């Protein structure tokens, strides 16, 4: 009896016809591998950029800004075609801000705006850049550029939270400008009177702040100046001498003691650069901010 597992050999088929399926399979395999080979450089580059970007971003999130700046710059230099390129450029500006190199950061944000204008991804990045730039300009007390950035935000992203924040500062600038008169301003509150002498770059000038006893209860209190204003000047002296200073809430607090009589404090400052600076003065007692809505523009003349 013949075994059921023994088959009859194929007869009559030419070798070329029997090899046709195998040839087709080899051809398809070659095409697939060829396509992968052509795509490999882009995929490999994206994979290479992803690791350094993740590391740099982690450094930024943990506020190790010197390392994040180094990492982002490496990505920009080595992977200009990567999808992480624009994000790394934004990261450079963010890291510069974190390091306190505000002017460099502002220049970087402004440079980004010239390129981030087309495509959905770029538009999303553009909003982030405008938001960061608006915040940086507010910290710098830049009364000239801030309204321009607000106008861009209002036109392109009217419903964003960044636009609402920029509008608040733009309104503050408008109010301060309306209160300014020949670089001399008087406080708008009955509880405080302010007199500002003309300011010239490199030369000492004074800001006199007279606080009425009705403004705060007797005891320790602070006069609060916005940090962006203070950073634009060197503090030469404060009379009477302050019992301490501290920085929080975006303000510099100068501590004094209030008695039954009005207290007059004279700040002697020296401007670092010419231009307009926004001054916002409030009072503080027991970590409670007493907002006076007293804002004004201080014009610093060049030498």
Specify the residue for token string 């920009």: 76
pLDDT tens-digit map of 178-192: 655 433 444 446 788
β-partners of residue 265 are 209
Do domains 40-178 and 192-301 share one topology? The answer is no
- The pLDDT value recorded for residue 140 is 78
- The pLDDT value recorded for residue 293 is 76
- The pLDDT value recorded for residue 188 is 47
Residue 31's Cα: distance from chain center in Å? 49
Most confident of 7-11, 90-94, 271-275: 90-94
Structure tokens at 272: 């670092």
- The pLDDT value recorded for residue 184 is 40
- CATH tag, 40-178: 1.25.40.10
| pLDDT score of 10 more than 90 | no
Which letter does DSSP use for residue 118 in this model?
S
| pLDDT score of 165 more than 50 | yes
Question: With contact defined as beta carbons under 8 Å apart, do 263 and 211 qualify?
Answer: yes
- CATH tag, 192-301: 2.60.40.680
- Distance, CA of 246 to CA of 199 (rounded, Å): 25
**Three-state secondary structure call for residue 263:** strand
- The pLDDT value recorded for residue 37 is 42
Output the CA torsion sign for 226, 229, 230, 231.
positive
pLDDT tens-digit map of 266-293: 999 999 988 888 888 889 888 888 888 7
Domain boundaries, given as residue ranges, for the chain: 40-178, 192-301
Residue count of the chain? 303
Taking all residues of the chain, what is their mean pLDDT, rounded to a whole number? 80
Question: By percentage, how much of the chain surpasses pLDDT 90?
Answer: 33
**Mean pLDDT in residue range 226-238:** 90
| pLDDT score of 251 more than 90 | no
Structure tokens at 60: 């930024």
- Distance, CA of 220 to CA of 197 (rounded, Å): 27
Burial group, residue 31, by CB count within 10 angstroms (0-12, 13-18, 19+): exposed
**Mean pLDDT in residue range 145-162:** 87
Residue 244's Cα: distance from chain center in Å? 30
Given pLDDT bands bounded at 50, 70 and 90, which one contains residue 22?
low
């Amino acid at each position: 009896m013949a075994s059921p597992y023994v088959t009859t050999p194929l007869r009559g088929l030419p070798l070329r016809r029997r090899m046709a399926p195998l040839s087709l399979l080899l051809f398809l395999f070659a095409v697939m591998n060829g396509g992968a080979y052509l795509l490999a450089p882009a995929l490999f580059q994206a994979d290479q950029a992803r690791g350094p970007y993740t590391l740099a971003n982690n450094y930024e999130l943990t506020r190790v800004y010197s390392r994040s700046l180094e990492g982002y710059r490496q990505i920009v230099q080595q992977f200009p075609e990567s999808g992480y390129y624009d994000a790394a450029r934004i990261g450079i500006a963010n890291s510069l801000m974190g390091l306190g190199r505000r002017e460099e950061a502002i220049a970087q944000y402004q440079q980004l705006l010239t390129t981030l204008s087309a495509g959905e991804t770029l538009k999303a990045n553009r909003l982030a850049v405008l938001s960061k730039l608006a915040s940086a300009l507010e910290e710098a007390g830049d009364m000239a550029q801030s309204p321009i950035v607000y106008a861009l935000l209002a036109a392109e992203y009217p419903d964003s939270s960044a636009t609402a924040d920029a509008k608040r500062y733009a309104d503050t600038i408008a109010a301060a400008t309306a209160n300014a008169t020949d670089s001399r301003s008087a406080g708008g509150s009955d509880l405080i009177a302010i007199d500002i002498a003309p300011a010239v770059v490199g030369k000492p000038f004074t800001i006199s702040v007279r606080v009425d006893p009705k403004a705060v209860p007797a005891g320790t209190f602070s006069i609060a100046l916005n940090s962006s204003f203070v950073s634009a000047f060197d503090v030469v002296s404060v009379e009477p001498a302050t019992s301490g200073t501290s920085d929080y809430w975006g303000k510099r607090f100068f501590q004094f003691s209030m008695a039954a009589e009005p207290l007059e404090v004279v700040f002697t400052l020296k401007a670092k650069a010419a231009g307009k600076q926004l001054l916002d003065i409030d009072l503080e007692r027991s970590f409670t901010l007493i907002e006076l809505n007293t804002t004004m523009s201080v014009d610093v003349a060049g030498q």
